[in-house]
Amino acid sequence: MTISMHSASSPIFKSMLGNLDHFLAKAAAHAEAKKFDPANLLAARLAPDMLPFTRQVLIACDASKLCMARLAGMEAPKYEDNETTIEQLRERIAKTIAFIDSVPASAIDGTEDKDITFPVGRDGATRTMKGEAYLKHWALANMFFHVTTAYALLRHNGVELGKSEYLLGARAGQ
């Protein structure tokens, strides 16, 4: 049996976003236990020229919803990108997962050879890839990069997370 575009996208995005939500719950608990403002975590960076933690979460969500929308040929929901708390970030993840759930498998399956054109960079440039290549080599890679970076930022700031939590969805068989 071959793998479908839907099974290679939706469950993966939902699993990793669910893991990211778990990281945020642990971050909030860590801040409460250590008696510091959790907003300190939202501005965390590993290097001065990288995007802060909050942007890592937003981009992971955007990579997921935009991929699903582009493959399905539908408009992705637009979010204001104004989240300033852990709870708001968790709500953003929940909205993104709800959108992914709303995209029917029939809209995604069979898009392997569909041309997907998307913006790259800030200068208005675009890139076009076939659906399967876009999913496997751009969207999933982008989402994993930002989830991993968010994980690393929290670990660097003392939140007790382990590999098993990064792979939480895999462990649950999602």
Is residue 2 in some structural domain? no
Range of the domain at 124: 10-171
Over the stretch 70-118, which tens digit does the pLDDT of each residue have? 999 999 999 999 999 999 999 999 999 999 999 999 999 999 999 999 9
Cα–Cα distance list, 141 to 35, 80, 138 (Å): 35, 24, 5
CA distance 138 to 80: 23
Beta bridge partners of 115: 130
SS (H, E, C) 31-93: HHHHCCCCHHHHCCCCCCCCCCHHHHHHHHHHHHHHHHHHHHCCCCCCCCCCCCCHHHHHHHH
CATH number, position 152: 1.20.120.450
Q: What is the pTM of this model?
A: 0.93
Over the stretch 143-166, which tens digit does the pLDDT of each residue have? 999 999 999 999 999 999 999 888
Q: Provide the number of structural domains found in the chain.
A: 1
Is residue 4 in some structural domain? no
Over the stretch 65-81, which tens digit does the pLDDT of each residue have? 999 999 999 999 999 99
Which one, of 153, 134, 30, 146, lies nearest residue 92 by Cα?
Answer: 146
